[in-house]
Structure 1
Amino acid sequence: MSLPRRLAAPAVLTLFLVAVFVPFLSLLSASIQPAGTPLTGLEAPHGLHLENFGTAWSKAGFGRLLLSSGLVAVAVVPASVLFATLAGYALATMEVPGGRKIFGYLLLGLALPAEVTVIPLYYDLRALGLTDTRYGLALVEIAAFMPFGTFWMRSHFATMPTGLIEAARLDGATSWSTLWRILLPNSRPAVTTLGVLYFVWCWNQFLLPLILIQDPARRTAPAGLGYFTGEYNVDIPSLAAATLIVIAPVVAIYLFFQRHFIRGVLDGALKG
């Protein structure tokens, strides 16, 4: 292999590393600057002003906001993964009546922007008395996440060896036993990857919580950050500290599950 080809992969990885690390470093540097300092880019910190995090936490009430986001995520992620797994398993391994049409309708959901549906969803939830509730927001997000999750799990189950399913059926295993005892133990990376993606999407949702939840006591962290930004738009260090508080759970979840996540993505790429 020639030297340019050998250097191509490290060069590309280094470029992506810089593209991700520099903005994060700029955000971290801004968060420990003196409060009210005007910043226009990456600057060396003038001391270590951790009080910005305390100010952002108390002024925006991030304790309540993070709890609200956590409750929504706890409701959305397990339910979405469960429903997507069941739907993907059925569409990939069973002769579901109208299965192709159902899958086609689900794929249309991937092309439908959330901005198109948010106003009708608001009026529907208001008619059901579910506006300003975490339950209503959770139901909407579960429905919004189903198209991708079903596509992901169907693709995964469709590429698994058919001999496993046929052998289980010959041994008298039911469809439930085949899924829970045979397929799922071999699907841990795919399920974990889907769960991490769902958590990131659920945590970062901004438009849906902003429209569907007007009660400040039930706002999620990104929506609360939006209101905090409007109030403290001239205090860049406090805004940077607040942003780091909001993204910290996402980073922690990704670092905890990174091996399963990377394996799931690579397995999907290789099988595809």
Structure 2
Amino acid sequence: MRRQRAAMWAIAAPMMVLAVATIYPILFGLNVSLKTRKDYVLDRLGATQTINLQNYADAWVNADMGRYFLNTIIVTGVSVVLLLVLASMCGYALSHLAFRGSRAVFFVILGMMMIPFQVIMVPTVKVLSDFGLIDTFPGLILAYVAQFLPFTVYFMTSYYAGIPKELTEAARVDGNGLFGVWWRIMVPSGKPALVSMGILNALFIWNDILIALLIMQSPEKRTVMVGVSTLRGQYPDNVPTYIAGVMLAVLPIIVVYLVFQRQITAGVTAGATKG
């Protein structure tokens, strides 16, 4: 009994430390964002004695956060849809269709996952510039799809590998073509993985600064995280307003994760088990 308790505490203690390390910055930022500028200067670490929502109004209106949110929603939505469609099709092909070189293609995709964006960012910008896609939403969407597609394809391939081939072969016998099998069998069967990948990719894209900063040069086309990064220059001596902008940017991420955390866990667990 004592050994079991000791083992439980050995696992629980690091998890509690990790939870505190994750939650504390959010609570600290919320506390700072509700302070007035004077209160923050007098007491930076103490709990706020007021609820100053004007910081949020200033960050939203003066920094044009509404436009940044709209830009990010458009880019994120289109990118995620393209990622899921392409990855689902590729995963079906690599896991159920026998063709020469399929294994080599899969290993190439694995290799692409190990290349950080910093290594390919100059060629990426050069290619997009040659096609006239710099400072355009299609260019940013293509950059996101290219960056996150390898991992999504790998995950969907691993998940689809657990679906019996007899199921797809029976669908072919019933008269379905490749597209019909993918649409009627693979997409419904892969729904948990698709939901997980959709949420994870949406979080990755929403949080990105580097790719958006390289490609989108016009202020009116900035995404929300790039817009928030510019708030520091607009309010160099007003930290509460800047932190309020940061809280506005991360709030949708927190809400999405809290709402869909079960789907994320279920999809990732199922993908790991089937892969």
TM-score, reference length from structure 2: 0.91
Structure 2 counterparts to residues 8-157 of structure 1, below 5 A:
8-35=10-37, 37-38=40-41, 42-157=45-160
Which range is displaced more, 163-172 or 13-22? 163-172
Cα distance in structure 1, aligned partners of 2:133 and 2:46:
46
Cα distance in structure 2, aligned partners of 1:122 and 1:183:
35
Percent of aligned pairs sharing the same letter: 33
> What code does the residue aligned with 1:160 have?
I
8 Å Cα contact 1:89/1:179 also seen in 2: yes
Cα distance in structure 2, aligned partners of 1:146 and 1:262:
20
8 Å Cα contact 1:57/1:242 also seen in 2: yes
Q: In structure 1, what is the equivalent of residue 263 of structure 2?
A: 260
What is the DSSP-based 3-state SS (H/G/I as helix, E as strand, rest coil) of the residue aligned with 1:239?
Answer: helix
Q: Deviations over 1:131-179 (max 9, x none)?
A: 1111111111111111111101001011223332343344443333332
Cα distance in structure 1, aligned partners of 2:9 and 2:170:
47
CA change 1:117–1:40 in 2 (3 A) is farther
8 Å Cα contact 1:213/1:219 also seen in 2: yes
**Which blocks of at least 5 consecutive residues in structure 2 are unaligned?**
none
Cα distance in structure 2, aligned partners of 1:96 and 1:255:
41
Would you say how many aligned residue pairs link Structure 1 and Structure 2?
Answer: 272
> How far did residue 41 of structure 1 move?
6.6
Q: For the aligned residues, what is the CA RMSD?
A: 2.0
CA change 1:8–1:186 in 2 (3 A) is farther
Which range is displaced more, 93-102 or 192-201? 93-102
What is the DSSP-based 3-state SS (H/G/I as helix, E as strand, rest coil) of the residue aligned with 1:126?
Answer: helix
Which range is displaced more, 229-238 or 196-205? 229-238
Q: In structure 1, what is the equivalent of residue 210 of structure 2?
A: 207
Cα distance in structure 2, aligned partners of 1:30 and 1:60:
18
Which range is displaced more, 135-144 or 159-168? 159-168
1:192 aligned onto 2:220: no
Q: Deviations over 1:197-238 (max 9, x none)?
A: 110111111111111111111111111111112332432211
Cα distance in structure 2, aligned partners of 1:40 and 1:73:
38
> How far did residue 125 of structure 1 move?
1.8
Q: Deviations over 1:6-32 (max 9, x none)?
A: 334443432332121111111111110
CA change 1:29–1:163 in 2 (3 A) is same
TM-score, reference length from structure 1: 0.92
Cα distance in structure 2, aligned partners of 1:144 and 1:188:
22
